Amino acid sequence: MSFQSVNQDWEGLAKHDAMWAILTSPEKQGNKWGNEEFFEAGRYEISVVFDLLKELKALPVDNELALDFGCGVGRLTQALGKIFRSVHGIDVSPTMIAKATALNAAPDTVQFRVNDTTVLPFPPSSFSFIYTSIVLQHIPYPQQVEYIAEFGRLLKPGGTLVFQIPTKDIRQISLLQRIKSTVRIRERLSKIGIGTFHHMQMNPVPEAEIHAVMKAAGCTVVGHRYTNHTDVGFGGRLRFMERSQSKDYESSLFIVRKS
């Protein structure tokens, strides 16, 4: 599926049920996420990430400027706004950005904008902190790798980049079963009223390639954790695991520094 058609899918999902498209807990389908519980899930996820950064002694050099890539309606962007002087949330979907702007509780600190190319609209070494979660997994190859390289360009020396991405497809199924499972997702989405099919694809990138891309961008991977981000019931309740326990995609969180 092409980069452009994935972008159109997100616009369709944003119009239909934006919060459920972001956190796909089955019981929240049909616009059932409440604003408060949804944004609390963002504060919780960011607090878990920052506890890890403290443990790894990988906190960013300062609390100036942060980027939330693929911000959706601002669940994590607003949480970062409690830590950083200024935060940019960017997303490919104009409807996500319109909703994020409408829900923005701190417009002096947190700003949202649309971007639909792999070149991000900021000068080099802009950001003290860059975060992205449950976004890169849905972007096709090679664009997801181009974004990771772009994060390296945007990170300032002493800055910290944290990103989640699946590193392995561990489904033990045949090609025919994979096709059938895609058809089932189509059917489920059309049952909830998405007439035109809006697909959420999953695209893993091998760990070795991530290390190579980061190195080429002048950055170092200083930590790695397996996470529950790819579980259907993730719901923002981030957990780290010694080994991936997922049955479908091994989800990894990379902690990267630029010296």
Alpha-carbon distance of 113 to 122, in angstroms, equals: 12
Nearer to ligand SAM, 61 or 98 (CB): 98
Per the DSSP assignment, residues forming a β-bridge with 249 are 169
Nearer to ligand SAM, 23 or 155 (CB): 23
Selected binder of ligand SAM within 28, 75, 88, 156 (CB under 6 A): 75
Establish if 66 lies at the interface with ligand SAM (CB under 6 A): no
Selected binder of ligand SAM within 92, 189, 194, 253 (CB under 6 A): 92
Element (H, E) at 35: helix 35-55
Nearer to ligand SAM, 140 or 158 (CB): 140
Establish if 76 lies at the interface with ligand SAM (CB under 6 A): yes
Q: What stretches of 21-126 adopt beta strand conformation (E)? A: 65-69, 86-91, 110-114
Whether the Cβ atoms of residue 90 and residue 67 lie closer than 8 Å to each other: yes
Write out the two tokens for 155: 């990170």
Selected binder of ligand SAM within 12, 60, 72, 235 (CB under 6 A): 72
Whether the Cβ atoms of residue 73 and residue 100 lie closer than 8 Å to each other: yes
Alpha-carbon distance of 83 to 100, in angstroms, equals: 18
Q: Of 58, 116, 128, which is closest to residue 88 (Cα–Cα)? A: 128
Selected binder of ligand SAM within 78, 133, 167, 230 (CB under 6 A): 133
Which window, 59-67, 91-99, 149-157, 165-173, contacts ligand SAM (CB under 6 A)?
91-99
Nearer to ligand SAM, 22 or 49 (CB): 22
Residue ranges binding ligand SAM (CB under 6 A):
10, 22, 70-72, 75-76, 91-93, 96, 133-135, 138-139
